[in-house]
Structure 1
Amino acid sequence: MRKPLIGVLPLVDTDKDSYWMLPGYMKGIEEAGGIGVMLPMTADPEVIRTLAGTFDGFLFTGGHDINPELYGEAIDGVCGELCEERDVMEKLLFDEVLKLDKPAFGICRGLQLFNALLGGTLYQDIPAQRSAGKLIAHKQQPPYSEPVHAVVIADGNPLYEIVGKEALMVNSYHHQGIKQLSEQLQAVAYAEDELIEAVAMPGKKFVMAVQWHPEFCYQIDEPSFRLFAAFVSACGQ
């Protein structure tokens, strides 16, 4: 049986003018039975259509902040580093992925990207823009494989079906998050401070995203591995 071929969105180091990849994204896919391939960075619509038609699924990685222009807001001083070439490519690719109903798995930035592209909004900086009384720490120090807060999962939703638990302890390394949820997405997990930590898109084969980082802990954390396994399985169907 052919292993699913999965396109992985590249990370960008603007200071070094380079594209790069964290091994956990690739190894997580590989250990779950897929083949991860880092995609080229491109805004060419024809190339994007070719990529979308060639690969069996796509992993939208973490990294830069999402440009607030994508969700109709001006850039605030609390917004972090942006990457226009990522925003442009990922928007074009995500649109094609949805048209073809290819599986898409988002991690950290990926969750924020899905929400913004589907009409939702983001906190440009959680500590600056949310009530201090509700906050928990969302940006931990290394090692990133260590869990730092809990998330609650509602019984019966797609994430519960994958991990089989009503609560998880997760790692966390982000300063942006979902403010207004897209009407096209379903919130499937929340942090203790009520921040949305995972989403799914009803009616699609597999469109899911998490705010935490399973790529850092899939080898030691069973729910993290199950996320990769469910995604790879959907890519193989």
Structure 2
Amino acid sequence: MSNKRPLIGVTPWYDYDKQLTFIKKGYCEGVNKAGGLGVLLPMCTQPELMENMVQSCDGFLISGGPDVDPKYFNEMNLPFNQDISPYRDTLEIFITRRAIELNKPLFGICRGIQIMNVAMGGSLYQDIHSQINDRKLIKHSQAAPRWYPTHKINVKKDSILSKLLKATSIEVNSFHHQAIKDTAPGFEISSLSEDGIIESIEYKNHKFALGVQWHPELMWEANSVFLSLFEGLVQSCK
């Protein structure tokens, strides 16, 4: 019996000043704890190398990070848009589209859910507090310990997310100023925050393509229920 673990490619962070590729704690560790082998992908934008990554990995985790360049959803870069990462946009949009096309498991966290949506034709609010004026928003960039849940989400019954969490309501942490505006074709919304912000999406008729707006990689050590998201990714690769 083989004990080979599924290989999960984790997309990297990149410091342009220091030319440094890195990842924060919780991503690879969550994959490993869930029974996979999390590997940090190299930062590159050459199509041949990106395709080799897609073919070599069993699944992918699109990590959190800076804003998505609004040119990918046909908008100008507005004043409240913050740091963007051209290398990451190129790499992660490529991986998302190919993973969807090849039915390879895909899990996006924070920026990751936004990249997944944009890659498949959706759009974002460049800043929710500047652009959403029809309702009162809760605080989405918390001033609390990073593992601590600060708001509730309501989860769609019978969604992949509800089956993993075994709940239709749960409290999560929050560190974002952008969010999904128009959902891309093929995606369904599977959870909303109390103020109506999209907190997760799932791609229909796919082995496993889940994006969440919060940061389970910061929560799973304090609350093991969030490890189930990483377990869902790993199990779908087997």
- TM-score of the two chains, using structure 1 as the length reference: 0.96
Output the CA distance in 1 between the equivalents of 2:113 and 2:136.
Answer: 21
Give the counterpart letter for 2:107 in structure 1.
F
Counterpart in the other structure of 2:154: 152
Give the counterpart letter for 1:41 in structure 2.
M
Output the CA distance in 2 between the equivalents of 1:229 and 1:140.
Answer: 26
Q: Cα offset for 1:141?
A: 2.2
Counterpart in the other structure of 1:9: 11
Counterpart in the other structure of 1:214: 216
Show CA shifts across 1:36-60 (max 9, x none): 1000111111111111111110000
Runs of 4+ in 1 over 3 A off after TM superposition: none
CA contact (8 A) 2:97 2:120 kept: no
Output the CA distance in 1 between the equivalents of 2:98 and 2:157.
Answer: 31
Counterpart in the other structure of 2:77: 75
Counterpart in the other structure of 2:129: 127
Counterpart in the other structure of 1:172: 174
Please point out which of 28, 34, 52 is paired with 1:50. 52
Output the CA distance in 1 between the equivalents of 2:79 and 2:58.
Answer: 39
Q: Which runs of 5+ in 2 are unaligned?
A: none
Output the CA distance in 1 between the equivalents of 2:124 and 2:97.
Answer: 19
The Cα RMSD (Å) is 1.1
Output the CA distance in 1 between the equivalents of 2:20 and 2:103.
Answer: 31
Counterpart in the other structure of 1:230: 232
Give the counterpart letter for 2:189 in structure 1.
A
Show CA shifts across 1:6-59 (max 9, x none): 100001123432111112001100110111100011111111111111111000
- TM-score of the two chains, using structure 2 as the length reference: 0.96
Q: Cα offset for 1:198?
A: 0.3
Greater mean alpha carbon deviation, residues 185-194 or residues 6-15 = 6-15
| Structure 1 residues 76-115: aligned runs within 5 Å | 76-115=78-117
Q: Cα offset for 1:97?
A: 1.4
Give the counterpart letter for 2:234 in structure 1.
V
Counterpart in the other structure of 2:193: 191
Identity among equivalent positions (%) equals 36
Output the CA distance in 1 between the equivalents of 2:150 and 2:166.
Answer: 20
Output the CA distance in 2 between the equivalents of 1:183 and 1:97.
Answer: 16
Q: Cα offset for 1:90?
A: 1.2
Output the CA distance in 1 between the equivalents of 2:42 and 2:70.
Answer: 24
Counterpart in the other structure of 2:163: 161
Counterpart in the other structure of 1:182: 184
Give the counterpart letter for 1:31 in structure 2.
K
Show CA shifts across 1:66-102 (max 9, x none): 0101011111001010111111111222222122211
Q: Cα offset for 1:142?
A: 4.2
The number of residue pairs the alignment matches comes to 236
